[in-house]
Structure 1
Amino acid sequence: MSDIIKTARAFYSDLHANNKKDWWDENRGTYDDVLKPFALSFLDQLAPQLADLSDTTVKSKLFRPHRDVRFSKDKTPYKTHMNMMWRLEADAPQSPVFFFGIGLDYVTAGAGMMGFEKPVLENWRQFADLDHKRLLGIFDDLKTKGYGFREPALKRVPNAYDKDHPAGELLRMKGVVCSKDIGTPADLEGTVMAAFKELWPLNALLIQVAEA
């Protein structure tokens, strides 16, 4: 499996240096014949394992290689990374995801909710306020295992809470994304699933928050 990482990085490195439609058209065989089939197979392999782990239906997705440049100053047409996602279709207004990506200088496994919808954000703040010891325990455990969290969206704790609240970091969040670089393991499927099992308490918490 480490060979697919080498192939992907070589392809995306060349694409980074030649991010134009002509180059893509001439070289897309690597994506169409190697990278995309691997990704679709990998999504299918992990989906039932994640369904068993979470006891939910799982919907998988391979993100398209083309960039949306409509509102971006960067008009390069193609992404220089490959991202996959498994959404946990829980009976809740919003569902968390597991994700995996290969980029020029990273191989990342992660989980979370990119951005809370308004009702879920309100629930999240109630959990962070009233059950912060449990939430902080989950966060601290993942940090100890080498995971990092995306910086909170807010600079300050919302006005409804004490500025020195013990869960201030959590209250400043408007979404939760946690990930780590897993390197280039020989057993890619096993390593990614091991990471997802470590991340499961976070997604289980997010399902509970969304369902509240």
Structure 2
Amino acid sequence: MTNALPPLFPDARDFLAALAQNNSRDWFTAHKDRYDAAVKFPALRLLDEISEAIARRSGAPVTGKLFRPQRDVRFSKDKTPYNTHLHLMWTLNSSGCALFFGLAPGYCTAGGGIMGFSKPQLPRWRAAVDGAYGDEIAALVDILALKGFTAKNPELKRVPAPYRKAHPHGHLLQRKSLTFWHEMSAREQAAPMPALMSAYLILEPVFALLDSALTA
């Protein structure tokens, strides 16, 4: 795994690694200016650049989100207060399709899809897989794997009722989400803006298919 740093975030990994070793509110407060300079402000810049580029192409509004550094520790045994990664998300349509970017000391990833189907979307997804969309979705999963975008594993161990266990697209019916992930190369990390736009273009058929399949 490469440790190359994108120029947009020249000091982000150093800060996140230091935070991992000093994960306390006192340390973070004392180094808040460093967080802003190394992580927050470059992230906000990238959010704006990608949002504008996608909106120009799609003609639709894009909503960018910088995930907050504070962890929700209410129901976690791990009470360390801060995340030691940077995660960004661009929501692309009303179905919740999104483009993702993740940076941490040990990884740099681009991804896309829907993290979790909503309660109304799940039966629509299963009906789509069982019907007109099944072959297309299955083919798209294989095509994207060849392009370096791997689908996250299904959440369910068995094909849900009322679908038969030997369903030709059982692995898709076992899903409660559909996301694809790509470990960014050193070259891609060196130019995160074009790399993320390339990821968007590769994943564009996924976004269109999910939006169509999940829209009532």
TM-score (norm 1): 0.93
Q: How many residues are treated as equivalent by the alignment?
A: 209
1:3 matched to 2:7: yes
Q: Secondary structure at the residue paired with 1:57?
A: coil
Gap regions ≥5 residues in structure 2? none
**Pick aligned residue for 1:167 from 153, 166, 169:** 169
Tell me the equivalent position of 1:82. 86
Deviates more, 1:131-140 or 1:184-193: 184-193
CA distance in 1: counterparts of 2:156 and 2:44, whole angstroms: 36
For residues 141 and 52 of structure 1, what CA distance do their matches in structure 2 show?
A: 26
Secondary structure of 2:7's counterpart equals helix
CA offset at residue 5 of structure 1? 4.1
Unaligned runs of 5+ in 1: none
The list of structure 1 runs, each at least 4 consecutive aligned residues, that deviate by more than 4 angstroms after superposition, is none
Does the aligned pair in 1 maintain the 2:10–2:38 contact within 8 Å? Answer: no
CA-to-aligned-CA distance 1:121-144 (integer Å, 9 cap, x gap)? 111111111131111111111111
Residues 54 and 88, structure 1, Cα contact 8 Å, conserved in 2:
no
Contact 1:149 1:177 in 2 (8 A): yes
For the 8 Å contact 1:87–1:95, the answer to whether it is kept is: yes
Letter of the aligned partner of 1:83 in structure 2? H
* Residues in 1 aligned to 2:185 and 2:103: alpha-carbon distance in whole angstroms: 10
Deviation at 1:28, TM superposition (A): 2.0
SS of 2:163's partner is coil
Code of the residue aligned with 1:106 in structure 2: it is Y
Structure 1 position 85, deviation (Å): 0.7
Instruction: For 1:51 and 1:196, locate their aligned partners in 2 and report how far apart those are by CA, in whole Å.
Output: 12
Maintained 8 Å contact 1:66/1:78: yes
Is 2:196 the partner of 1:195?
no
- 1:124 match: 125
- SS of the counterpart of 2:23? coil
Identity %: 40
Aligned AA for 2:214? A
> Counterpart in 1 of 2:214?
210
Note if contact 1:83-1:99 (Cα within 8 Å) is conserved in structure 2.
yes
1:186 shift after superposition: 2.2
Secondary structure of the 2:89 match is strand
In structure 2, how many angstroms separate the alpha carbons of the residues matched to 1:4 and 1:26? 23
Of stretches 199-208 and 3-12 in structure 1, the one that deviates more from structure 2 is 3-12
Deviation at 1:89, TM superposition (A): 3.3
- Aligned partners of 2:80, 2:15: CA distance in 1, in Å? 16
Q: Is the 8 A contact 2:154 2:176 kept in 1?
A: yes
Given the alignment of the two structures, is residue 64 of structure 1 paired with residue 68 of structure 2, yes or no?
yes
Between the aligned partners of 1:76 and 1:183, the Cα distance in structure 2 is 30
**CA 1:205–1:55 in structure 2 vs 1: closer, same or farther (change >3 Å)?**
farther
Residue number in structure 1 paired with 2:114: 113
DSSP 3-state at the match of 1:156: coil
Q: Which residue of 1 aligns with 2:160?
A: 158
CA-atom RMSD in angstroms: 1.5
TM-aligned CA distance change 1:54 to 1:164, over 3 Å = farther
